[in-house]
Structure 1
Amino acid sequence: MNSLILAVIGVGMMIGGYLLYSRFLGNRVYQLSDAYKTPAHTMTDGVDYVPTNKYVLWGHHFTSVAGAAPIVGPAVAVIWGWFPAFLWVTIGTVFIAGMHDFGALWASQRHKGQSIGTLSGRYIGNRGRNLFLVVIFLLLLMVVAAFAVVISNLLVSTPTAVIPTWGAIIVALLIGQAIYRFKWNLPLVSVVGVVVLYALMIIGDMFPITLPESTFGLAPNAVWIILLFIYGGIASLLPVWVLLQPRDYINGLQLFVGLGILYLSFLLTAPTIVAPAINTNVPEGTPSIWPLLFVTIACGAISGFHGIVASGTSSKQLDKETDARFVGYFGAVGEGLLALGTIIATTAGFRTLADWEEIYQAFNDGGVNAFVAGGGALINEGLGIPTSLSATILATMAVLFAATTMDTGVRLQRFVVQEIGEIMGVKLGALAATAIVIAVALALTFSAGGDGSGGMLIWPLFGTTNQLMAALSLAIITVILTRLRRPTWPVLIPLVFVMTVSLWAAIVQVRGFWDTQNWLLLVIDLVIIVCAIWVTVEAFAAMNRARNEEPVVWSDDDTDAPAPVVAAKKL
């Protein structure tokens, strides 16, 4: 099959979803209003609450939620064939991911920018909140630790990406000053920033940087991991406008340009997809496509991590409530486009089926490397960009996606630790909470040895935990909509589907961990399953109570949505 057909259909579906379905959600379900003053204005503090241009905020949100997962997940999942992966990415993006991200952002900014974890306590009670926080903490730990390993491996395997990766931080610092301190023209700053980033890629391709085999007794991977956590800790403590926001914005533009280059190569080469539509000859040991497909491709179809970002940082920077549609829904579309591009690159970037099968000899053999190899070959063929530079561009894309997610994850984990501290009666400052986050993540990362590979120990649980987190977020949104007497079916139907396949996948994994005697993952998986089921039961009970209560009307003059009567009594 010609991959160009797949690209046109997929892109058309996602753009159509933004133009049509997100408009329906904004008008009928979330009922956005420009008259409402967002927390960024009513609670401005210059650190976390900062009114932000919607394009800049979109860049922050898009790059924070994207990470490496929409590359890794689809690049692995095509082992079952490109057709199931294509269906889940496109339908999931249009009807589930966009709605979820949009809804979490909307709900949070109507509640003073409170996190989805805090909203769970507000709408289903303290017990539900505490269990919710367990799931959030574990999910963020997986993201922060695993992405540090992914980035370090890429910096070692593709040393040409080192200069653009670290140079992007300096560019971001300068852009933050240019936009907020000197009030320079945003389009001009944006163009200059993107040009500089791509110039850094060319320089990096010319001057690769490789660390010594041993530095103070540490392997290169370990050194990069330590440096990444030092950076993540500093970035999480700085005001968002200094580094986090401009870094994510300029990375978002650069990454969108990179996606444009990738899709342009599809247009010019129109490569044939060599992988089977449905693979009936999967390698031995490959798990069943049902329900594992839906958790293998998490980011790129729906992701609970997106709700944490939307309610953790993005909601505090929303300038106007109507901006939530562009930032939230279109942010999900951006990730869907990346996942779609990954599917095409990893199925059409090889000359023959035999070449493809040589890469996909086992379930987890596909991944970032398959994306870089396949996509780099297509860019080289279509645009004439040297193979080395093509690989540098794609590797830098993957690193910057993962890095922006990692530093945002550290900041969000700090909020969670502080919230847990409050529940326990301990008030933690930002520095102390960040130190705890870094210490726990480093302990996990180096628990398997000095190379830092321990960060991947609990990664097999990421897909199921991430999807369960998304279902729990949808449950909170459904409770809110029920109290407002607004349409709930756009949220309730995806909630039931995502919760079903995620719990099913988690139970399948329990048996796998039992058979392999992986007791750590077995215990964590069981904890997550119990928490998810418990919170879900309490959420559905809250929905039932909400149906019997008097409907609530939110006024545009309210600086915070009124608390539910039942939840207020529990608190």
Structure 2
Amino acid sequence: MNSAIVLLLGILAMLAGYFFYSKFFAKHILGLDNSIPTPAHSMKDGVDYVPTNKYVLWGHHFTSVAGAAPIIGPAIAVIWGWVPAVLWVVLGTIFMAGIHDMSAVWASMRNKGQSIGSIAGSVMGGRVRTLMMVVIFLLLLMVNAVFGVVIANMMIKTPTAVIPVWGALVVAFIIGQCIYRFKMNLVLVSTVGVIALYALIYIGTLVPVVLPETMFGLPDNAVWIIFLFIYAAVASLLPVWMLLQPRDYINGLQLFVGLILLFGAILVATPDIVAPALNHNLPADTPSIMPLLFVTIACGAISGFHGLVSTGTTSKQIDKEEDVRFVGYFGAVGEGLLALGAVLATTAGFATLAEWEGIYQKFGDGSIGAFIDGGATILNNGMGIEIVLSQTILTVMAALFAGTTMDTGVRLQRYIFQEFGEVYNLPALKKGVVATLLAVGTCLLIAFGAGGIDGSGGMIIWPLFGTTNQLMAALTLMIVTVILLRKGKTVWYTLAPLTFLLLMAVFALILQLKSFYLEGNWLLIVMDIIILIATIMVTFESFSVLRREWKQHRG
């Protein structure tokens, strides 16, 4: 199959979802109304609640939700074949991810910018709120701990990416000052910023940065992880306009340029997909495609982490209600396009089926390495960009995606600790510095406590990410469904995807529990059981409320 045809069909389908399905949902179900003041205006504080240009906010939302996961998940899931991966990415984006993100932002915006955990308490009671916050905390812990490891490994594998990855912070800070302090023209600032980022990429290829194998008695990847969390801690305490917003915005533009280059190379080179459409020659011990496909590809089809970003930071920056459709739904489309690019790079970026099978020798192989190597080959063949520069561009793309998600994740984790302080009247937890130190401390505890001196503990808990993520998406849709039902709105557009996700994720969680038991992995067993119990309790509570509301509003 020609990859260019698959790419064009996928893009057209997602754009149709944005121009038609999202417009219908925004108007007839959510009832977006610009006359209603958003929390960014009614609760403006200049730190977290800041009215933001919708294009800038789209950049924040898109790059915050599109971490490394929409690359890792699809790059692993193609082992079952490229057709299931493409269908799940495209259909999931149109009918699930876009609706999930848009409705989560709307629900938070209509509830004074509250997080999804707090909204759960308002809608379903304190017990559900506590259980939701446990699941949210564990999900954020996984995301932050894993992405710290992923970024560190990428900078070690591709030292040419170090300067552009860290240099992007300086560019973002300057852009923030130009936009908000000096009120400079957005188009001019954006153009200069993107040029500066790509200049850094070129400089990176000339000046690779390699840390000593051991520093301060720690291996190089552990040192990178510590540096990353120090940065994330500082960034999470700064006003959003100073670094988070401009970093996400300019990275979003740079990343979209990277995707355009990759997609353009596919359209020019038109490489054939060498991987099987449906893989009947699976390596031994590969799990069943049902239900694992739907949790292996989470980000890129639908992701619960999006609900945390939507209600944690995005909803506090919406300038007017109609911006929700562009920021929320089109943000999900951006991530879907990234996931589609990851599928094509890892299936059409190799010369032969034998070469592809050499990469995918067991479940879990491929991942970001296959995306970078396969994508670099496509860029080289289609655009004539030499391999080292191509690899640097794609590595920087992946690292910036992961980095912006990590920035937002640590800030959200800080919010969770502060919410615990509010709920249980613990004044110390309400303080930003204390909450941030606890957020970073728990991530480092997992990284080094579970992984040892190299700090790889995040990868140990990664197998639970997909199921936890999809459960969080289902629970977010469940809360939105209750809110819509109370408003007398049609709920099938959210009820159908939440039911499907809940069934797939719980099924996968039970299968994983058996696998962890056979492996003797007690850390994952305990985490799996906690997540499963919390999910079952929230589900029972939620469906009880749904049934009661249904009787009241449907007679």
* Range class of TM-score, shorter chain: over 0.9
Counterpart amino acid of 1:523? Answer: V
Task: Give the match for residue 564 of structure 1.
Answer: none
1:196 aligns with 2:196: yes
Task: Give the match for residue 433 of structure 1.
Answer: 435
Secondary structure of the corresponding residue to residue 142 of structure 1: helix
Spell out the pairing of 1:162-561 with structure 2 (5 A cutoff).
Answer: 162-427=162-427, 428=429, 429-447=431-449, 448-549=451-552
Counterpart amino acid of 1:21? Answer: Y
8 Å contact 2:485–2:553 — kept in the other structure? no
Structure 2 distance, partners of 1:361, 1:548, is 53
User: Which sections of structure 1, spanning at least 5 residues, go unmatched?
Assistant: 552-571
Structure 2 distance, partners of 1:485, 1:16, is 27
Deviations 1:120-171 (A, max 9, x none): 0011111111000000000000000000000000000000000000000000
With 348-357 and 515-524 compared, the bigger mean Cα shift is at 515-524
Q: CA deviation at 1:550?
A: 6.7
C-alpha RMSD of the superposition? 0.8
Secondary structure of the corresponding residue to residue 446 of structure 1: helix
8 Å contact 2:34–2:322 — kept in the other structure? yes
Structure 2 distance, partners of 1:63, 1:406, is 10
Counterpart amino acid of 2:351? Answer: R
Structure 2 distance, partners of 1:454, 1:481, is 40
Q: CA deviation at 1:422?
A: 2.3
Secondary structure of the corresponding residue to residue 452 of structure 2: coil
Paired residues, number: 551
Spell out the pairing of 1:60-79 with structure 2 (5 A cutoff).
Answer: 60-79=60-79
Counterpart amino acid of 2:330? Answer: F
Q: CA deviation at 1:544?
A: 2.1
Counterpart amino acid of 2:478? Answer: A
User: Which sections of structure 2, spanning at least 5 residues, go unmatched?
Assistant: none
Secondary structure of the corresponding residue to residue 218 of structure 2: coil
Structure 2 distance, partners of 1:233, 1:65, is 19
1:51 aligns with 2:51: yes
Matched-pair identity in %? 61
Deviations 1:206-248 (A, max 9, x none): 1100000111111110111001000000000000000000000
Q: CA deviation at 1:366?
A: 1.1
Task: Give the match for residue 38 of structure 2.
Answer: 38
Structure 2 distance, partners of 1:234, 1:244, is 11
Structure 2 distance, partners of 1:216, 1:120, is 45
Deviations 1:53-102 (A, max 9, x none): 00000000000000000000000000000000011000000000000000
Secondary structure of the corresponding residue to residue 25 of structure 1: helix
With 539-548 and 330-339 compared, the bigger mean Cα shift is at 539-548
Structure 2 distance, partners of 1:299, 1:107, is 21
Structure 2 distance, partners of 1:145, 1:130, is 22
Deviations 1:399-418 (A, max 9, x none): 00000000100000000011
Secondary structure of the corresponding residue to residue 122 of structure 1: helix
Structure 1 distance, partners of 2:486, 2:97, is 23
Deviations 1:374-413 (A, max 9, x none): 0000001111111000000000000000000001000000
Q: CA deviation at 1:458?
A: 1.1
Task: Give the match for residue 134 of structure 1.
Answer: 134
Counterpart amino acid of 1:102? Answer: M
Structure 2 distance, partners of 1:23, 1:468, is 27
Task: Give the match for residue 565 of structure 1.
Answer: none
Q: CA deviation at 1:541?
A: 1.2
Q: CA deviation at 1:423?
A: 2.4
Counterpart amino acid of 1:32? Answer: L
Q: CA deviation at 1:549?
A: 4.3
Provide closer, same or farther for how the CA distance between residues 210 and 497 of structure 1 changes in structure 2, counting only shifts above 3 A. Answer: same
Q: CA deviation at 1:424?
A: 2.4
Structure 2 distance, partners of 1:319, 1:421, is 29
Secondary structure of the corresponding residue to residue 209 of structure 2: coil
Task: Give the match for residue 100 of structure 2.
Answer: 100
Structure 1 distance, partners of 2:454, 2:532, is 31
Counterpart amino acid of 1:318? Answer: I
With 94-103 and 522-531 compared, the bigger mean Cα shift is at 522-531
Q: CA deviation at 1:451?
A: 0.9
